[in-house]
Amino acid sequence: MKEAKEGGMKEAKDSWTDVIYNRRSGEFLGRTSSSWGLILLFYLVFYGVLAGMFSLTIWVLLQTLDENVPRHQDRIANPGLVIHPHTSEIIFNRSNAADYSQYTQQLHNLLQWYNDSVQGSNDLCLVGEYTEQEHTAIKKVCQFKRSILQQCSGLGDSSFGYADGKPCVLIKMNRVVGLKPQGDPYIHCTAKSDAQLRIQYFPEEARLDKMFFPYYGKKAHPNYVQPMVAVKLLFSKQDYDAELRVECKLEGTNLRNNDERDKFMGRVSFQVKVSE
């Protein structure tokens, strides 16, 4: 009886181990080595074909794309405006340099690419004319020297007017590949206040000259610098401690600036508060 019991346990153990590896038939998990080899070969070929088809479709797609011009840019045909310092609120005490240093440092960092020594190597382009360069691989860059910004260049006054309570704000138009604005685009700003806030522009005509257009993309136009307009807000003592809202718009062109669904299309607004 004891021997029969031990024999039954041995058979059960053998049958369990045979499920994993059968020493008599040489099967592993119910398949012979040749069967496993055929399965592995099938999946290797199957996934290899899938990978090849995927690579082929990606390659075909890439042949239809221009590396310099986005294929679909209908939603950004009308660019927005951006201000520097890059903030929607400029609040500072003009008597405390630490209060406005974050703003002036942003301006210095931006304008280092516009230094006259850097821009001197760029081309002098025809004012009022598009700089079209369809047949050159690497496009030339038109000069925009920071000295053009005069009182807002940071050269004569490193505080950009913040120490005097007359802060400068730089305004640029977003880049859009191939854009050629019609007319004579310029920046115009208004302030919502009881007293009329005086505003000074640099360059004086506040123009974004056509010679900086079109832009050909990051790869074809690697050293391109956007034109900008400096806006100097001439606060008086009556304007101190009051939060003023300033709105700047792109005018004189076919580009839109009044779409209520997009508050940044062709315009930008920000708040300024100066205290003594």
pLDDT tens string 96-133: 999 999 999 999 999 999 998 899 889 999 999 999 98
In this predicted structure, the answer to whether residue 2 has a pLDDT above a threshold of 50 is no
Distance separating alpha carbons of residues 57 and 95, to the nearest angstrom: 63
Rounded average pLDDT over 48-60: 94
Residues 214 and 166 in one domain: yes
Say yes or no to pLDDT of 168 above 50.
yes
Look at phi and psi of residue 199 and say left if phi exceeds 0, alpha if psi is from -120 to 50, else beta. Answer: beta
Q: What is the largest CA-CA distance in the chain?
A: 113
Tell me how many degrees the CA angle 237-240-245 measures, rounded to the nearest 5.
Answer: 125
Residue 6 lies in a domain: no
Q: How many residues does the chain have?
A: 276
* Of 32-41, 67-76, 88-97, 126-135, minimum mean pLDDT range: 67-76
d(CA 170, CA 208): 12
Does any domain span residue 128? yes
Instruction: For residue 77, count other CB atoms closer than 10 A to its CB.
Output: 12
H helix or E strand, kind and range, residue 235: none
DSSP string, 45-83: HHHHHHHHHHHHHHHHHHHT--SSS-S--GGGSS-BEEE
Both 48 and 133 in one domain: the answer is no
Q: Which of the residue ranges 70-74, 139-143, 192-196, 232-236 would you say has the lowest mean pLDDT?
A: 70-74
For the cut 70, the answer to whether the pLDDT of residue 222 exceeds it is yes
Domain extent, residue 168, equals 81-274
Per-residue CA distances from 158 to 32, 89, 148, 166 (Å): 82, 21, 15, 13
Q: Please identify, among 64, 98, 120, the residue that sits at the C-terminal boundary of a domain.
A: 64
